[in-house]
Amino acid sequence: MTAQQRLTLTRADARRLLVRYHVPPAPLATIVRRLGTIQFDPLAPVGTNPDLVLQARVPGYRRGDWLRAAYEQRLLVDGWDKQASLIQPGEWWAQAPFHRWFARRWRKHGVDVDAPEARALVEQVARHGPATSLELGDQRSDPALRGSWYGPKRSRHLLKALWDTGHLMTHHRVGGRHAYDLPERVLPREAREVDATPDEALQRLVVRRVQAAGLLRPSADAAVWMLPCPRAERDRRAARAMAHGELIELDVEGTRYWATPAALSALDAAPVPAGGGAVRFLAPLDPLMWDRGGVARLFGFDYVWEVYKPQAQRRWGYYVLPVLWGERFVARFDARCQQGVLTLLAWHWEAEIHPARLPEGLAEALQRAAGEFLDYLGAARVVLPRGLGREARRAWQLAVR
């Protein structure tokens, strides 16, 4: 598709598209199909990233429900996409480019997944069933591996390599640890029998990345577009996807974006109700937030995740959640939940929001969102910070039930 053939949208159109695509409530299985992939991160001051992504979209979602969806219902399986992610089991075939890429990467670090010691680990899993790194392989430390990201045990490095390359999968988790098993004992047979070429698999990865984001700039940061191929190959796959109608190229006031037909059709969805619509608390790694430069460009919301910054360098806080009201970001807050008490460590309104006089409808929407968030966490109390303002403070207080 040439630049002259691109569909043109205004920034307001693009905001509307993203909000109508991302936040309409739906059952968990529908959200899984809509996004295609959910990034996993183990940090959990107010639930893990999958928890937070799903609570913003699934009515009645409770912290930890994704575990049942993944390890009992098999609506999701652990895989790799933008980073460690939860994907649909029926798309396991698209993991093949990552599996090959990881095999080459591990070999460069002296780990061969076809070596006898690696095959012995797979055979051990085959004999004994799902097990964690604490039960599998040689538990002795290797002095050469001290200080390594994966610890000093060579068996743990081998298990991670076998997982990265698809020889082993996550059957379930034990206290956050992967319990490894054979793919044939995790995936349904139809998911293992898909016949696809490497090009088809790579094309699906490109489309899925756009699908999850809803609207994504080809020029977004490398971290957003981490794929097992150079950008030139990504662009060839995207062009092929556009020729097949899987992607659409858009011009948003001079900036190029890609979207899926499903995301574009969200523009025809029901408008945001009068009064601004619902408030949603989004995850730091929510797919809507992946392209932070795009979010700043479209919404005027400059979001930085400061979790890995030293405390003295943080402006907003440790684990800060964006607050979306209708089609605009109005605030961000840092929080943690322990023993049934949600503590808001900091609340920062955007510059155009005056805490002493909130826009019409915002306090009521905030109260509903706060109540749902407390229910999601199973929290019975809330500790509030300064800076909320009287109306917002009362909204949170009324939400405690």
Kindly indicate the confidence band of residue 379, based on its pLDDT and cuts at 50, 70 and 90. very high
Contacts of 64 (CB under 8 A, 6+ apart): 47, 51
Q: pTM for the full model?
A: 0.95
Looking at the structure, do residues 292 and 260 belong to the same domain, yes or no? no
**252 exposed, middle or buried (CB, 10 Å; 0-12, 13-18, 19+)?**
buried
- In a domain, residue 274? The reply is no
Which sign, positive or negative, has the C-alpha torsion 345, 350, 351, 353?
A: negative
Query: What is the mean predicted confidence (pLDDT) over 75-98?
Result: 97
Only one residue has tokens 């402006």, namely 315
- In a domain, residue 174? The reply is yes
Share of the chain above pLDDT 90, in %: 89
Residue-level pLDDT at 254: 96
CA 375 remoteness from chain centre: 22
Question: What average pLDDT is seen over the chain?
Answer: 94
Kindly indicate the confidence band of residue 332, based on its pLDDT and cuts at 50, 70 and 90. very high
What counts of helices (H) and strands (E) characterise the chain? 14, 14
Using one digit for the tens of pLDDT, what is the confidence trace for 127-145? Answer: 999 999 999 987 676 655 6
Residue-level pLDDT at 2: 45
Only one residue has tokens 């780990």, namely 111
- In a domain, residue 237? The reply is yes
Residue 322 bridge partners (DSSP): 332
Using one digit for the tens of pLDDT, what is the confidence trace for 183-210? Answer: 999 999 999 889 999 999 999 999 999 9
Kindly indicate the confidence band of residue 4, based on its pLDDT and cuts at 50, 70 and 90. very low
Residue 347 near residue 385, CB atoms below 8 Å: yes
- Looking at 251, 269, 287, the residue that finishes a domain is 269
Residue-level pLDDT at 355: 96
Looking at the structure, do residues 68 and 27 belong to the same domain, yes or no? yes
- Looking at 221, 238, 269, the residue that finishes a domain is 269
Looking at the structure, do residues 217 and 320 belong to the same domain, yes or no? no
Q: Is the pLDDT of residue 32 over 90?
A: yes
Buried b (16+ CB within 10 A) or exposed e, 342-380: bbbebbbbbeebebeebbebbbbbbbebbbbbbbbbebe
**Residue span of the structural domain in which 120 resides:** 1-269
Looking at the structure, do residues 217 and 328 belong to the same domain, yes or no? no
Looking at the structure, do residues 323 and 231 belong to the same domain, yes or no? no
Looking at the structure, do residues 218 and 92 belong to the same domain, yes or no? yes
Query: What is the mean predicted confidence (pLDDT) over 8-13?
Result: 97
Contacts of 119 (CB under 8 A, 6+ apart): none
> Of the candidates 247, 204, 212, which has an alpha carbon nearest to the alpha carbon of residue 229?
204
Looking at the structure, do residues 82 and 108 belong to the same domain, yes or no? yes
Q: How far is it, in rounded angstroms, from Cα 203 to Cα 184? A: 25
CATH of the domain at 385: 3.40.630
Q: Is the pLDDT of residue 343 over 70?
A: yes
Looking at the structure, do residues 263 and 327 belong to the same domain, yes or no? no
How far from each other are the two terminal CA atoms of the chain, in whole angstroms? 54
Looking at the structure, do residues 233 and 311 belong to the same domain, yes or no? no
Strand locations in 57-110, DSSP E?
A: 77-80, 84-87
How many domains does one find in the chain?
Answer: 2
Residue-level pLDDT at 274: 54
> Of the candidates 59, 83, 32, which has an alpha carbon nearest to the alpha carbon of residue 212?
32
- Looking at 245, 269, 293, the residue that finishes a domain is 269
Q: How far is it, in rounded angstroms, from Cα 170 to Cα 158? A: 15
Using one digit for the tens of pLDDT, what is the confidence trace for 293-328? Answer: 999 999 999 999 999 999 999 999 999 999 999 999
Looking at the structure, do residues 260 and 288 belong to the same domain, yes or no? no
Looking at the structure, do residues 265 and 293 belong to the same domain, yes or no? no
